[in-house]
């Protein structure tokens, strides 16, 4: 099929008298093919624009991430694996709660969608597995978490791709100890297309080694490098919450950035460090203690 032709008037058939010069039949067919191709590209662009309208805010509105896309997360050092895992789970959780337009029913359905967590055996041995009580303390519902354990990285990548094709899921998070051997530009592009077709957001996290972000060669929407930061202290001197430094190394249509983030238990979102602090409290959470129950068998006035 010839897609590019010379000047159509050079291929024109001679006309009788002084009439208009008409293009040759082959040139008209080629132009029709080009018009169909342009129409297909415009339709694909409209589909991408419709999906790009769904975002979820991160960092207290400092930036937003697109739903139905692939995101990469890597630990800065080997000891930052827990922070990278928490960040990846938080991204998946926030993406699953990003409800599309359609009223309260659509939002309630979006917030009830499960999150698929694919764990590679090597990553679990080196960095451990998510703890149910810890997830609940961060505001996650462990009942919405579906866990798949894979022995090898190729099996984990296969489960990751199959999860991205399932539109009933809210998000898919895959956790690896090392950079997956089969994760190259072709594999990542296939994951991107699967996420775009279903609208399910995916997050691939490498938590067992440092410097993995520089070796990821994927077609993901964003690439993050995560490092742990000291948490603020509570009223009793205990760590107040999750704190980390997130380096946005790559973002389609954007510039690299760096964020110091803290997890807000009340809103279930990351906020910039130091945001929303009350004067003199140093950002400490309120001290909540149970109240004594009302005594029974006493007059209302005395109670």
What is the percent of the chain where pLDDT is above 90?
A: 19
Which residue in 199, 209, 198 sits closest to 175, CA to CA? 209
User: CA angle 127-227-189, nearest 5°?
Assistant: 75
Is residue 288 pLDDT above 70, yes or no?
no
Is residue 276 pLDDT above 90, yes or no?
no
DSSP assignment string, 81-96 = HHHHHHHHHHHHHHHH
Which tokens in the block code for residue 181? Answer: 């051997």
Q: How confident is the model at residue 197 (pLDDT cuts 50, 70, 90)?
A: very high
19 burial (CB, 10 Å; 0-12 / 13-18 / 19+) is exposed
Average pLDDT of the segment spanning 75-94: 87
Which residue in 252, 187, 205 sits closest to 48, CA to CA? 252
**125-141, pLDDT tens digit by residue?**
777 778 888 888 777 88
Distance CA 288, CA 290 (A): 7
Distance CA 68, CA 55 (A): 9
């Amino acid at each position: 099929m010839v897609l590019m032709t010379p000047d159509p008037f050079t291929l024109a058939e001679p006309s009788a008298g002084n009439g208009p010069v008409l293009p040759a039949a082959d040139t008209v067919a080629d132009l029709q093919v080009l018009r169909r191709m342009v129409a297909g590209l415009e339709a694909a662009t409209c589909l991408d624009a419709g999906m790009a309208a769904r975002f979820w805010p991160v960092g207290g509105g400092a930036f937003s991430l697109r739903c139905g896309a692939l995101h990469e997360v890597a630990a800065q050092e080997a000891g930052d694996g827990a922070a990278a895992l928490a960040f990846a789970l938080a991204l998946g959780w926030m993406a699953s709660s990003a409800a599309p337009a359609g009223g309260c029913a659509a939002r309630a359905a979006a917030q009830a969608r499960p999150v698929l967590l694919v764990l590679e055996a090597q990553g679990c041995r080196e960095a451990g597995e998510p703890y149910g009580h810890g997830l609940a303390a961060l505001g996650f519902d462990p009942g919405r978490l579906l866990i798949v354990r894979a022995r090898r990285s190729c099996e984990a990548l296969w489960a990751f791709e199959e999860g991205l094709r399932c539109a009933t899921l809210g998000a898919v998070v895959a956790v690896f100890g090392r950079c997956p051997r089969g994760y190259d530009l072709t594999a990542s592009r296939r994951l991107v297309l699967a996420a775009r077709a279903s609208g399910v957001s995916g997050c691939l996290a490498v938590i067992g080694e440092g410097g993995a972000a520089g070796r990821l060669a994927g077609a993901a929407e964003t690439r993050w490098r995560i490092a742990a930061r000291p948490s603020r202290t509570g009223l009793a001197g205990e760590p107040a919450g999750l704190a980390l430094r997130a380096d946005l190394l790559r973002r389609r249509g954007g510039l690299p950035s760096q964020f110091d983030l803290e997890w807000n238990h009340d809103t279930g979102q990351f906020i910039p460090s130091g945001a929303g602090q009350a004067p003199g409290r140093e950002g400490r959470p309120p001290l909540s203690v149970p109240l004594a129950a009302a005594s029974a068998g006493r007059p209302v006035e005395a109670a």
